[in-house]
Amino acid sequence: MQPTLLALKNVDVFYGRIHAVRRATLHVRQGEIVALIGGNGAGKTTMLCTVSGLIRPGQGSIMLGDQDIVSRTPEQIVRAGISHVPEGRLVFSPLSVEDNLRLGAYTRPRFRQREGIATDLEAMFDMFPVLRERRAQPAGTLSGGEQQMLAIGRALMARPRLLLLDEPGMGLAPMVVKDIFRHIVNLRDRLGLTVLLVEQNARSALKIADRGYVLENGRVILQGTAAELLANRDVQRAYLGRELDE
Amino acid sequence: MFWQGEYECMDRGELELLQLERLQATLNRVARNVPLYRKRFAELGIDPYDVQSLEDVKSLPFTTKEDLRQHYPYGLFAVPLRDVVRMQTSTGTTGKPTVVGYTSGDVRRWSELAARILTAGGITKDDAVQIAYNYGLFTGAFGIHSGAELIGASVIPSSSGDARRQISIMQDYRTTALVCTPSYALHLADTLEEMNINKTALSLRFGLFGSEPWTEETRLEIETRLGIQATDNYGLSEITAVAGECLERTGLHINEDHFLPEIVNPLTGEVLPPGQKGELVLTTLTKEAFPLVRFRTGDLTALIETPCTCGRTLRRMTRIPGRSDDMLIIRGSNVFPAQIEGVIATTGIHNPHYQIVLDRVGHMDRATIMLEAPESFCTDSIKESQRILENVRIRLHTELGVAFEVRLVEPKTITYEAQGRIIDRRKM
């Protein structure tokens, strides 16, 4: 079994007076794809933002390997090896595709890593050939699927150990979602990347994930292997859109 | 050999984190789905949210067999009945059984855990495993059965019954592993002698025995007489496959990633320090249909904290020498004296004076009930009293699943003061 890369213990998050995440304990092993599933407002996005330091938890510990990252700034967390692909992709629309990618390497010292960054840029273009075709085009002119690829590529430019993906399939056509998910599996298989994934579309998420956690009102109510969750009738009823009661 | 080495040999720190996340998810689920827990937590002002560590489980109330009976049949189910794929039963003290349900996920995990126990006991896919447990509502047989199939062993569900038939099967099918109660294993050894068959004529190598307490002496006897390596395992119909010995045979490894064990003082319920003997209390960590929080098993044991040389990091519990309540184990079936009394009462004999005498004939338990003849019996015809006795016998057998001999004794000859209600002459 691979060592644990990310471990949250008793993490509590408040949004003002709203208790968004309640005592979340979960772990992600090296090389795993772990999915967080749950309805709207279950606390999935909040959880990712807490890991990447965008939100400070009220309580609890977050360990990346053996370092506690709970009180670090987002920038320090990126340097520690976590990249976050936010919901809605948030590419820098007026900037070119290439500049968006280069911005992803912002935390890497440019004077020493110029070659490394250039190599990685080529690697991104190899992985997402459509981005090479559009390298000089403003990111805002890309299609949704292309923007998602760009957002992932941008996150990878920081050379993360752990990738946080928030709703990568949102608003995309099923075929495009399939393609994005295929890329995610590739990243794990080829680069050994670890992925924590939030997805409304629980079925596609669980299809590529190794394990998953089901959140409800900020609480983890179920955890298990992806196969176990896909077979769980509660999950099927609530999140897989399967009506069993007919 | 491990079945799920990544869990069985897990780093303790990682295991405890896994236990905590599973515990918290289980508590969130029972608080939402099981009326008994929702109500009880509310009454006691308990919020699953307050459980931040494994130690915090101490603050939660126990679940007892009485709770299970009171909420018979489905009151403790955490999922709708349509999600349940199997139901099994266990007998309780008042004659009212309890029902346990399992989802397909529960059944699959149960098989995995049974496969762990079988693997720890030496079983591989090359074995022919003869399961001489009573099938039916009794859970032991099914867990081992599906676990053995999962390993890929050849399963022989010979069930309970005629010992000579068992031995013929053993010879003909070249059974390599035997699964049954330890007393039945000895009974088979006796039968082997009666049939004048040498143990070397059999292909037996391993035996996994459970469902009743047994001693090291019994183990030695079984091993010598059947020519096998014998391991102990422990499970409960309410919980599934809890623990099993590895071939080191120095205690039963508890499947701690699925069950959180505690040892409590059986009288006060207070949690005892590590290593001390007391009642085993289990909280299920992955069960979906029938999760239990701090279930009082009634079994006395101690946790062994030192690591085992086999490489498993799962803690061991000592073999179970006895129970904390008055439950009797007769031929692998659980029987409570109160049940016997209840059955006798249904036959029209009220406030019966009786004694239960247990002894062993060969290696099989014999249970006799010495019943004081009620005053009315003296005047009635012998035929009539015979009819009533026969009725008691049949009722006991059908309701408790154990055959009793029932004998009538003179009125006022039973004195509980001298020996108590139960006379157990079986040597452990």
Is residue A167 exposed (0-12), middle (13-18) or buried (19+ Cβ within 10 Å)?
Answer: buried
- Sequence-ordered strand ranges (E) for chain A: 4-15, 18-29, 33-38, 59-64, 67-68, 82-85, 162-166, 194-198, 211-216, 219-225
Q: Say which of A223, A231, A245 has its CB closest to residue B21.
A: A223
Is residue B45 exposed (0-12), middle (13-18) or buried (19+ Cβ within 10 Å)?
Answer: exposed
Contact B244, B234 (CB under 8 A): yes
Interface test with B, best of A14, A27, A219 (most B CBs within 10 A): A219
β-pairing verdict for A194-198 and A162-166:
parallel
pLDDT of B396: 84
B contact residues 241-300, partner A, Cβ 8 Å cutoff = 286, 288
All residues of chain A having their beta carbon less than 8 Å from the beta carbon of residue B28 are 216, 219-221
Contact A197, A205 (CB under 8 A): yes
pTM assigned to the model: 0.84
pLDDT digits (tens, 9 = 90+) for A155-209: 999 999 999 999 998 888 999 999 999 999 999 998 899 999 998 888 989 999 9
Interface test with B, best of A28, A222, A229, A235 (most B CBs within 10 A): A222
Length of chain B: 428
Cα distance from A173 to chain B (closest Cα, Å)? 33
pLDDT digits (tens, 9 = 90+) for B200-257: 999 999 999 988 878 888 899 999 999 999 999 999 889 999 999 999 999 999 999 9
- Sequence-ordered strand ranges (E) for B79-169: 86-90, 98-102, 128-131, 154-156
Contact B84, A238 (CB under 8 A): no
Name every residue whose Cβ is closer than 8 Å to that of residue A118 and which is 6 or more positions away in sequence.
none
Contact A191, A116 (CB under 8 A): no
pLDDT tens digit at each of 246 positions of chain A:
889 999 999 999 998 888 999 999 999 999 999 999 998 889 999 999 999 999 999 999 999 999 999 999 999 999 999 999 999 889 999 999 999 999 998 888 766 777 888 999 999 999 999 999 999 999 999 999 999 999 999 999 999 999 999 999 888 899 999 999 999 999 999 889 999 999 888 898 999 999 999 999 999 999 999 999 999 998 998 887 755 444
Q: Does B379 score more than 70 pLDDT? A: no
pLDDT digits (tens, 9 = 90+) for B89-132: 875 444 567 899 999 999 999 999 999 999 999 999 999 999 99
All residues of chain A having their beta carbon less than 8 Å from the beta carbon of residue B6 are 1
Q: And the tokens for A94?
A: 């007026």
CATH class of segment(s) B328-424:
alpha beta
A233 contacts B79? CB cut-off 8 A:
yes
Query: Is B96 touching A (CB cutoff 8 A)?
Result: no
Q: Which residue of A has its CA nearest to B33?
A: A221
Q: Does B376 score more than 90 pLDDT? A: no
CA-CA distance, B229 to B274, in Å (whole number)? Answer: 30
pLDDT of B336: 72
Cα distance from A233 to chain B (closest Cα, Å)? 6
Cα distance from B29 to chain A (closest Cα, Å)? 6
Residue with tokens 């295929």: A182
CA-CA distance, A208 to A187, in Å (whole number)? Answer: 12
Cα–chain center distance at B207:
17
Complex confidence, ipTM: 0.90
Q: What is chain B's mean pLDDT, rounded? A: 88
Give me the helix-helix angle, B104-120 and B139-151, nearest 10°.
70
Cα distance from B263 to chain A (closest Cα, Å)? 25
B contact residues 99-118, partner A, Cβ 8 Å cutoff = 103-105, 108
pLDDT of A246: 40
B288 contacts A27? CB cut-off 8 A:
no
State the count of interchain CB pairs (< 8 A) between A and B: 62
Reply yes or no: is the peptide bond before residue B73 cis, omega within 30 of 0.
Answer: yes
pLDDT digits (tens, 9 = 90+) for B265-288: 988 999 999 899 899 999 999 999
Q: Say which of A1, A233, A234 has its CB closest to residue B6.
A: A1
A222 contacts B29? CB cut-off 8 A:
yes
Q: And the tokens for B213?
A: 């307490």
All residues of chain A having their beta carbon less than 8 Å from the beta carbon of residue B25 are 213, 220-223
Query: Is B313 touching A (CB cutoff 8 A)?
Result: no
CA-CA distance, A100 to A89, in Å (whole number)? Answer: 12
Interface test with A, best of B2, B7, B16, B21 (most A CBs within 10 A): B21
The residue that leads in pLDDT, B354 or A219, is A219
All residues of chain A having their beta carbon less than 8 Å from the beta carbon of residue B21 are 25-27, 220, 223
Q: Which residue of B has its CA nearest to A213?
A: B25
Beta bridge partners of A225: A211
The residue that leads in pLDDT, B229 or B66, is B229
Lowest mean pLDDT among B77-91, B297-311, B398-412: B398-412
Interface test with A, best of B49, B56, B108, B287 (most A CBs within 10 A): B49
A23 contacts B52? CB cut-off 8 A:
yes
Q: And the tokens for B19?
A: 């236990």
Q: Which residue of A has its CA nearest to B287?
A: A222
Cα distance from A30 to chain B (closest Cα, Å)? 13
Q: Which residue of A has its CA nearest to B109?
A: A228
Q: Say which of A4, A7, A221 has its CB closest to residue B25.
A: A221
B contact residues 5-64, partner A, Cβ 8 Å cutoff = 6-7, 10, 14, 17-18, 20-22, 24-25, 28-29, 32, 48-49, 51-52
Cα distance from B84 to chain A (closest Cα, Å)? 10
Q: And the tokens for B299?
A: 């079994």
Cα B226 to Cα A203, B197, B280, B319: the distances in Å are 52, 11, 32, 21
Q: Where are the domains of chain B?
A: 1-324, 328-424
Residues of A with CB under 8 A from a CB of B: 1, 4, 7, 9-10, 22-23, 25-27, 213, 216, 219-224, 228, 231-234, 244-245
- Sequence-ordered strand ranges (E) for B132-181: 154-156, 177-180
Nearest of B89, B99, B96, B94 to residue B340 by alpha carbon = B94
A25 contacts B17? CB cut-off 8 A:
yes
Q: Which CATH architecture has domain B1-324?
A: 3-Layer(aba) Sandwich (3.40)
For chain A, domains (ranges, CATH) are 4-89+162-239 (3.40.50.300)
Q: Say which of A27, A222, A233 has its CB closest to residue B25.
A: A222
Q: Which residue of B has its CA nearest to A220?
A: B25
Torsion of Cα atoms, A8 then A14 then A19 then A23, to 10° = 20
Cα distance from A1 to chain B (closest Cα, Å)? 5
Average pLDDT on B193-204 reads: 94
CA-CA distance, B65 to B76, in Å (whole number)? Answer: 12
